Amino acid sequence: MNDIAPEGELNARDQLIEAASQIMRDGDQVDLSLSELSLRSGLNSALVKYYFGNKQGLMLALLERDMRNIVNSLDALVAKDFSPDEKLRVHIRAVIGTYFRFPYLNRLLMRMVRDAAPEVSRKIADDYLVPISNAYKRLIDEGVQKGLFRPIDPGLFYFTVTGAADRFFSARLVLHHCFGQSEMTEQMRDDYADHTLDLIMPGLLSRNSA
Amino acid sequence: MNDIAPEGELNARDQLIEAASQIMRDGDQVDLSLSELSLRSGLNSALVKYYFGNKQGLMLALLERDMRNIVNSLDALVAKDFSPDEKLRVHIRAVIGTYFRFPYLNRLLMRMVRDAAPEVSRKIADDYLVPISNAYKRLIDEGVQKGLFRPIDPGLFYFTVTGAADRFFSARLVLHHCFGQSEMTEQMRDDYADHTLDLIMPGLLSRNSA
C-alpha cells in the first residue's frame, strides 16, 4: 500500500503529513494536489477531509509537526547551563539543519500566515513566533548580562538568522534549475553553517569578549 | 483610464508591468490574475498576450525591470574607487531598500527559476545571478587583497545578504497578518539596514582591520 519505506510504521494521519512534506520538498513549492497526495501516500485522499477537515488543515498539521520541534528544542536549549554564545551556535546550526531537511518550512509558515483566517494566523503567531521570539530575547539578554554580547534587537536578529538559514531554499533551486546540480549535500549544509556562524558571531560578540 | 496617478506617464506595456508589481506587493504573493491586472491597470487584459505572449512573459518582464537595475547599480558600484568595505555597506543598504520596495522580488526570481522552461531558467541565471555573483567575487577579492576582508566564499556571502534582506518580506507579513500592523516604515527599513550591517561587517573584516 505505502511504498515510502521509512514511513512504513506511521499511521494514516502521519503518512498524509509526511507525503505533504515530501511533495513540498521535492517540488520546491508549498502547493498540494489531492491526487499527488493520494499517489505519494498510497491512501485515499478522502482521508484528508476525515483527519484535517480540508487541505489547509493538513498544511497546518505539517506546520505544527515541523515548528513544534523547533520551539521545543529552542526552549530546552535556552534552559541549559552552558554559555549563551555556545547556545546560539548550537541553535543556528539546528535552524540551518531544519531548513536543509524542510526547505519549504519558511514559505509554508508565511503562506499560512497570509492565507489562513485571522484567528488562525494569530494562533500561528502565538504558538510559534511569539515563543521563538521570547526565547531569542532570553538568549540575547543572558549574553548581554554576562558581557558576552553587545545589546542588539532580538527580533531583528531572529529575522537575520531565519533569513540566512532560508537561503538554502534559494540556493537549492538555483543549483537545481539553473546549473543542473541535483541535491544539496550535508557537506554543503555544514559549510554554510560554518560560514553563517563565522559571519554573524563576531558582530554579536561584545568588544571585550571578541 | 488609468487611475494610478504616478504612472500616468507610462505606456501601456509599462503600466501592465507596474500593475503586476503592485498586485504582488499588496497581495504578498507572486500570482497574477488577468482580471485583477485589468482592474489595476485600466487596460484590456488582451494586451498581456500582445506585449508579453502570456502571463509568464509579463512576470519575466517585471523580473527584468527590477533585477536589471540591481545588476547595473552593483556593476557601477564595484567599478568606483572608494574602499571595498564602504562599497559593501552601500550595496547592502541598496539591497535592503530594493526588497523594501519590491518585497516579492526574491520569490518572483525563485518562481521563475522553478517554473520557466530550462532555457529560460538558464537565461535568468546568466542575466542576473551570474553577473551578481561575479560582482560579489570582485568586491570580496578586492577587500581581501587590500587586507580589509578575511577570505570568505562570495557565493555563500551572497546568500547571506539576500537572505537577510529578504526577511523584510517575512517581517511585513507577520506584522500585518498576526499583529495588525499595517505597513513597514522607512524608519524600520533603516533600522534593519543598520542592524544587518552591524551584524555582518565585523565577521567580514579581517582581524587587522576590525
List, for chain A, all residue ranges whose pLDDT scores fall below the cut of 70: 1-9, 168-169, 179-180, 182, 208-210
Task: Give the pLDDT score at B9.
Answer: 64
User: What's the residue count for chain B?
Assistant: 210
Say yes or no to pLDDT of B50 above 80.
Answer: yes
SS3 A4: coil
Which chain A residues have a beta carbon less than 8 Å from that of B167? Answer: 159-160, 162-163
Report yes or no for ipTM above 0.85: no
What is the C-alpha separation between A162 and B83, in angstroms, rounded? Answer: 30
User: What's the residue count for chain A?
Assistant: 210
- Residue A175 in contact with residue A28, Cβ under 8 Å? no
Q: What chain B residue is nearest to A154 in terms of C-alpha separation?
A: B195
SS3 B149: strand
Say yes or no to pLDDT of B167 above 80.
Answer: no
Burial A60-81 (b: 16+ CB within 10 A, else e): bbbbeebbeebbebbeebbeee
Instruction: Tell me how far the alpha carbon of residue B93 is from its chain's centroid.
Output: 12
The string of DSSP codes covering B42-93 is TS-THHHHHHHSSHHHHHHHHHHHHHHHHHHHHHHHHHS-S-HHHHHHHHHH
Task: Give the pLDDT score at B155.
Answer: 82
Tell me the backbone φ, ψ of residue B155, rounded to 5 degrees: -65, -45
pTM across the whole model: 0.84
Say yes or no to pLDDT of B200 above 50.
Answer: yes
What is the C-alpha separation between A177 and A5, in angstroms, rounded? Answer: 28
SS3 A205: strand
Task: Give the pLDDT score at A167.
Answer: 74
Q: How far is CA B44 from CA A148, A164, B16, B100, in A?
A: 61, 41, 10, 30
What is the C-alpha separation between B61 and B46, in angstroms, rounded? Answer: 16
Chain A residues whose C-beta is within 8 A of a chain B C-beta are 28-29, 106, 110, 113-114, 118, 121-122, 124-125, 129, 152-153, 156-157, 159-160, 162-167, 169-171, 173-174, 177-179, 191-192, 195-196, 198-204, 210
Type of residue at A124? I
Type of residue at A94? A
Specify the higher pLDDT residue, B66 or B1: B66
What is the C-alpha separation between B33 and A19, in angstroms, rounded? Answer: 29
Q: What is the nearest CA distance from B84 to chain A, expressed in angstroms?
A: 17
The string of pLDDT tens digits covering residues B26-39 is 888 888 999 999 99
The string of pLDDT tens digits covering residues A99-157 is 889 989 988 998 898 888 888 988 998 999 889 989 999 999 999 999 999 999 888 88
What is the C-alpha separation between B125 and B105, in angstroms, rounded? Answer: 15
Q: Could you tell me the domains of chain A?
A: 1-53 (1.10.10), 59-204 (1.10.357.10)
Band of residue B4 on the pLDDT scale cut at 50, 70, 90: very low
Which chain B residues have a beta carbon less than 8 Å from that of A161? Answer: none
CA B174, A59, A97 angle in degrees (round to 5)?
Answer: 75
Among A95, A120, A159, most B C-beta atoms within 10 A, so best to mutate, is A159
- Residue A155 in contact with residue B178, Cβ under 8 Å? no
What is the C-alpha separation between A175 and A163, in angstroms, rounded? Answer: 18
The string of pLDDT tens digits covering residues B130-145 is 899 899 999 999 999 9
What would the mean pLDDT of B53-81 be, rounded to a whole number? 93
The string of DSSP codes covering A166-185 is HHHHHHHHHHHHHH------
CB atoms within 10 A of CB B168: 24
SS3 A59: helix
Q: CA nearest B66: which of B27, B122, B112?
A: B112
Task: Give the pLDDT score at A3.
Answer: 44
Maximum Cα–Cα distance across chain B: 61
- Residue B125 in contact with residue A170, Cβ under 8 Å? no
Among B156, B157, B158, B189, most A C-beta atoms within 10 A, so best to mutate, is B156
- C-alpha cell of B202? 565585523
CA B158, B159, B162 angle in degrees (round to 5)?
Answer: 85
